[in-house]
Amino acid sequence: MTEFQRICLVHYHEIGLKGHNRSTFEMRLLKNLEALLKPFPVVTIHRIAGRLCVFLREGCDWQTAKDAADLAAQVPGVARVSCGFKCERDLDVMAKAAIDAMAEAGDFDSFKVAARRNHTDFATGSMDMNRIIGSALAGAYPGKRVQMKDPDVTVGVEVVQNAAYVYARSLPGVGGLPVGSSGTVACLLSSGIDSPVALWRLARRGAVCVGVHFSGRPQTSDASEFLVDDIARVLERTGCIARVHTVPFGDCQREIALSAPPPLRIVMYRRLMFKVAERIAQLEGAGALVTGESLGQVASQTLDNIRCTDAAVEMPVFRPLIGTDKLEIIGEAERLGTFEISSQDAPDCCTLFMPRAPETHAKLPVVLEAEAALPVERWVEELVEAAEVRDYACPAYKPKRGRR
């Protein structure tokens, strides 16, 4: 067991480009990490020298530190996480910490040392630190070569005002901005592959995401609702979803299927869903809707049909996957951890009462004429009232006063 206190250095990139409001973004990321790392033995998290340092309890083992770093790397706003140690500002002690850190870096053949001092009250400069600590590592690991360009392991040494931080294992983060720094959005969330990825992309841009799931209940089973809950459990591990409103949509779809021209059913379903989602978004204080649509992927996602559905609402509609093909979306869902859940069969409102030949080039005047015969506004009020709410762990989410 190492004699040094374990730390995780959290590096960020985009936040560092901010101006006078940079501290606001840093504090939001710090608060998110504090909440999401509660299952781990974290003593405190401090801002130091343009990054965040997670201090772990004395005696914390390597596996626990590794698991904490792995989770932190998936939190939006984090560009990179490095596992290492806090030690005294003494070259011999720093060299010993570097040897311990490199022992936990995995298999490697080449290495280099990247040292820097953030305070000139430490007499030894960066170049001399590189040489002294590099020599100690070469002695401790005979047969491993020093390689300045693209080494297998880079040992970082950060000398700050009262301590030094030494690390060797680094892993890339997801980048972006911390959740809670870009307002709130309402995401149409199905149990399929696409919409969880779209939601995650908005969370990665700093938005608090509220899901709106349209269930085929009572015309279908509630299986899709359980899958959406499983998806939300994956997303909440990194604070990417705040709550889900589940809307029992089956009866309204049945009424549309009985009354509307069959080719227009899908567009009319989507318009009603958008209207309901917009009303829920307003209750949540959200500024936009988000969907998982990709241009041309299915009948409802043609340019003409998208135009018809957008016309149902005044709120902006974001489509982060609009230019992404299915294989790219699947790859992202696999990395996110939602693909296997979304691959399970479950009847939902998207497949309920599907016409044989859906319209792919709907015209808005024709759609509005068909819609005029339906009690759309009454349905919207009833569906919003019937929505069931489930909350998830999102440190940045603050429910609107009076909302369930």
Which secondary structure element, helix H or strand E, spans residue 169, and what is its range?
Answer: strand 164-172
| 63 annotated to a ligand binding site | no
| Whether 130 contacts 114, CB under 8 Å | yes
| 318 annotated to a ligand binding site | no
Q: By three-state DSSP, how is residue 206 classified? A: coil
Separation of alpha carbons 255 and 219, rounded Å: 11
| Whether 191 contacts 342, CB under 8 Å | yes
Q: By three-state DSSP, how is residue 372 classified? A: coil
| Whether 179 contacts 208, CB under 8 Å | yes
| 188 annotated to a ligand binding site | yes
| 245 annotated to a ligand binding site | no
| 301 annotated to a ligand binding site | yes
| 213 annotated to a ligand binding site | yes
- Residue of 217, 209, 233, 403 lying closest to 289 (CA atoms): 209
Q: Tokens 């374990």 sit at which residue? A: 6
- What phi, psi does 138 have (nearest 5°)? -65, -35
| 46 annotated to a ligand binding site | no
Query: Checking DSSP bridges between strand 153-159 and strand 289-290, what pairing results, if any?
Result: unpaired
Q: Which residues are annotated as a binding site for ATP?
A: 188-189, 213-214, 270, 292, 301
Q: Which residues are annotated as a binding site?
A: 188-189, 213-214, 270, 292, 301
